[in-house]
Structure 1
Amino acid sequence: MSSRASFIFLCFFSFLTCFKVSAQNQDHTYLYHICPNTTTYSGNSTYLTNLRTVLASLSSRNSPYSTGFQNATAGKAPDRVTGLFLCRGDLSPEVCRRCVTFAVNDTFNRCPKERVVVVYYDECMLRYSNESILSTLSTGGGMYMWNNQNVTSNQLDQFKDLVASTMNQAATEAANSPRKFSARTANFTRLRSLYGLVQCTPDLTRQDCLSCLQQSINQLPTDKIGGRFIMHSCNSRYELYAFYNESAITIPSPPPPPPRPVSAPPVSAPPRPAMLIGKVSFFFV
């Protein structure tokens, strides 16, 4: 099997397994990880000490889980470690905390000695590196995931247009928001709705976030009824079911209709002046 075929199979398999979530594991559904062994560290090294400091900071109960994003740095080059986490924007602070805590422990199982690591879960992402990763657009680590059901041929063009318009609207909203997150719904058929979600790490500029999301959206497999594309700095996903917590998201309301023109009242003749005996007095009503 070729490396490309293996990669596609892995992405497809990961997509399927993400739905087989046990009650005990519902806050940290593993998706994928990237940790190339081109740069490694040894046990009891300065890098490991700094890494443990960063991970302890990120998983601390004092971390701002309500924002869904945090970063930390420890040490000096060449052993400096910079880390961050990003939780899905519709999750509660407690669910975010549990996912990050699990990720911190899980990373040593999946990437026990690598300096550059990204671990993806359905609910959060954990990333750290010996290089600067803050406020820096990174479109590496691209990963496809999709539903195995195809869109019917007679609805394909309509569906692709709907996905493109919905996701691009969400991307613009996310880029302009402080949390760099947006979710939208749109009617596909009378009985089915399209649900879309996009998110960047909030340390990105508006333009970098929008650029990242546009690249991610362009990679979506829109001939499938559900799919996602994940990169280091952003991710996008659509489905024909509500895969996020709708009650935790404020969906933008459509703009109000323009005000109706107000007709000017008819002009009437001025009232006649009143006359009093003995003197003349004028008044206007």
Structure 2
Amino acid sequence: MEPLMASSRFVFFLSPILLLISSQSLAQPEFPSHSCFYEKGNYTTGSTYQTNLNTLLSSLSSPSNNGNGYGFYNSSFGENADQVHAIALCRGDVMADTCRGCLSNSTKKLTQVCPNQKEAIGFYDECMLRYANRSIYGAMEKDPVFPLWWNIQNLSSSDVDGFFHEMRKLLKDLNGQAAANGSLRKFAVGNTTAPNFQPIYGLAQCTPDLAEQACSDCLDAAMGDIPTYCDRKQGCRVQNPSCTVRYEVNRFYDPTTVVPLPSSPQPLSSPLPPSTSTGGSKSNRSRTVIIIVPIVVSVVLIVIFFCICLRVRRTKAKLETRKLLPGGNDTDEIGSAEPLQFDLATIRVSTDDFSEANKLGQGGFGSVYRGRLLNGKDIAVKRLSTNSGQGDLEFKNEVLLVAKLQHRNLVRLLGFCLEGSERLLVYEFVPNASLDHIIFDPTKRAQLDWVRRYKIIVGTARGLLYLHEDSRLRIIHRDLKASNILIDAEMNPKISDFGMARLFVPDQTQGNTSRIVGTYGYMAPEYAFHGHFSVKSDVYSFGVLVLEIVSGQKRVASRTGTMGRIF
């Protein structure tokens, strides 16, 4: 009996200590900076909004959620006034496990520090999380500004001007790289050296949903705030809801997971050592000039020759392509589709002036809205983004290509609108949305038995075969993926989004491009690395799509390449 009582007293004594240790281990670290946006309104405890918020945050930090494969997560949940939108972003050099751990802490901590607030944002060193009761995807927001001093020591007065001059040059270069169109992570790091040999490390990052110009504007604004918040500091970070710039005298990123910029341009060869003989120096200099000049001239001539050959080849391909199309220029080609033209007022009425309630989704080049014409016919309107540098190209491609394609497994173009800055494409409305909304949703996926999955695979293959072989024009889609396969009421698949498609002239089997477009993970290696595309490129994407349909899991692009893998 005595040992039992002693054991009980020991447990009674130990339990407060265990409770304290447990509570400390479960507590999340404090945010270095955050905002609760009290002016945006609040929700009541136990409301539908709170339930939707908790559901959305749980899905963001779920191990099964891989985002876009580059540490970016975007999602929404709920309907109408109770709909919640969230964006999360990890620093570009952070590994997947660290990223998920940071997001898990963020989703728990942000609702604690901002209880009952409809909009909030929180920053850790490795990640950022924000949510709101409004759409925040693709919206560049420079306010509020969150400065943070990682190194509070000041520079010596003699070093300030030179240090900040080199730091600004570095960040300006990083801003351009991060914003560059085609950058999937919108992230860049690098280093340089101040005049006193002090190393400077820099970082620039945007949320990947921003267009190139929006990202560039955001980073420029953040960089412009550095003199205000970081005066004389050896290290500082300026961040806002859409982007971050940072500099330090110590390396703060992981060089093994990123490819940093070189500290400065390196000379092609080391300078010649000084000679004690003036005559010998002149002789060496003359000999060097005699050797180098012919080499440089030869290289320049070779480059010019290849440029001319490439230009002739592209011009010939364009001329042969135009022979297939009615009209000899872009105006005539679009004019040939004139009977399909809608006026802007009609489309505004049908979509309730592009209201958020009618928004079906957001793509790389704009938003898609549901509409209803006066005759009762439902339509889907793709509104190309006005700040997209590729908007006109996407518009011309889809009008010229899709209007000529007729197949049950291709989405049907009903018309277009070209007024002022508006570029609108009007498609048939497909009620079951895109395939990714079904196969990657645990609830909706249950309705896809093997017969229906087989039907979707076969239908997609038939549509692809039509594009490659059976249509009057051979089309290479270049962006075949689950989100571009629409599902109609009878669960028939329809290939959509021809903004990146390319037209082949008769008997052409392969094309080359320096502009790599599409979705990493679906890209064939020869296209992603070298710009070579053909029907095989689409077949490769189709293979990845089939694996997703069969497994019900998303593909993930690797860090070192574009090959996808299915989990």
Q: Which TM class, normalised by the smaller chain length?
A: 0.7 to 0.9
Give the number of the structure whose residues are more often helix, by fraction.
Answer: 2
- Report the secondary structure of 1:226's partner residue: strand
Partner of 2:202: 196
Partner of 2:252: 243
Distance 2:29 2:248 in 1: 20
Is the 1:28–1:99 contact (alpha carbons within 8 Å) kept by the matching residues of 2?
no
Give unmatched runs, 5+ long, in structure 2: 1-24, 270-290, 298-567
Is the 1:145–1:229 contact (alpha carbons within 8 Å) kept by the matching residues of 2?
yes
Given the alignment of the two structures, is residue 155 of structure 1 paired with residue 156 of structure 2, yes or no? no
Aligned CA RMSD, in angstroms, stands at 2.5
Partner of 2:43: 41
Counterpart among 220, 223, 233 of residue 217 in structure 1 = 223
- Report the secondary structure of 1:246's partner residue: coil
Match for 2:152: what amino acid?
A: N
Distance 1:59 1:204 in 2: 22
Match for 2:170: what amino acid?
A: T
1:37 Cα offset (Å) = 2.6
Partner of 1:14: none
1:28 Cα offset (Å) = 6.1
Given the alignment of the two structures, is residue 262 of structure 1 paired with residue 294 of structure 2, yes or no? yes
Distance 1:215 1:128 in 2: 22
Could you say if the C-alpha distance between residues 148 and 256 of structure 1 is closer, same or farther in structure 2, counting changes exceeding 3 Å?
closer
| CA-to-aligned-CA distance 1:97-146 (integer Å, 9 cap, x gap) | 00001111112211120000101111101100001100000111201222
Aligned residues: 241
Task: Give matches, 1:33-182, under 5 Å.
Answer: 33-38=34-39, 39-64=41-66, 66-146=69-149, 147-176=151-180, 177-182=183-188
Is the 2:56–2:75 contact (alpha carbons within 8 Å) kept by the matching residues of 1?
yes
Distance 1:33 1:149 in 2: 23
Is the 1:137–1:233 contact (alpha carbons within 8 Å) kept by the matching residues of 2?
yes
Is the 2:70–2:184 contact (alpha carbons within 8 Å) kept by the matching residues of 1?
no
Distance 1:95 1:29 in 2: 17
Give unmatched runs, 5+ long, in structure 1: 1-23, 265-285
| CA-to-aligned-CA distance 1:17-64 (integer Å, 9 cap, x gap) | xxxxxxx89x96621111133311112211112112211221111222
1:262 Cα offset (Å) = 3.3
Select between 184-193 and 70-79 the one with higher mean Cα deviation.
184-193
Could you say if the C-alpha distance between residues 256 and 162 of structure 1 is closer, same or farther in structure 2, counting changes exceeding 3 Å?
closer
- Report the secondary structure of 1:216's partner residue: helix
Distance 1:207 1:155 in 2: 33
Q: Which has the higher contact order (CA 8 A, sep 6+)?
A: 1
Could you say if the C-alpha distance between residues 255 and 63 of structure 1 is closer, same or farther in structure 2, counting changes exceeding 3 Å?
farther
Is the 1:28–1:123 contact (alpha carbons within 8 Å) kept by the matching residues of 2?
no
Select between 73-82 and 243-252 the one with higher mean Cα deviation.
243-252
Match for 2:63: what amino acid?
A: R
Distance 2:148 2:109 in 1: 22
Match for 2:190: what amino acid?
A: R
1:185 Cα offset (Å) = 0.3
Match for 2:214: what amino acid?
A: D
Distance 1:255 1:210 in 2: 27
What TM-score comes out, normalization by structure 2 length? 0.40
Partner of 1:184: 190
Partner of 2:242: 233
Is the 1:163–1:222 contact (alpha carbons within 8 Å) kept by the matching residues of 2?
no
Distance 1:113 1:152 in 2: 46
Is the 1:87–1:125 contact (alpha carbons within 8 Å) kept by the matching residues of 2?
yes
Distance 1:186 1:29 in 2: 32
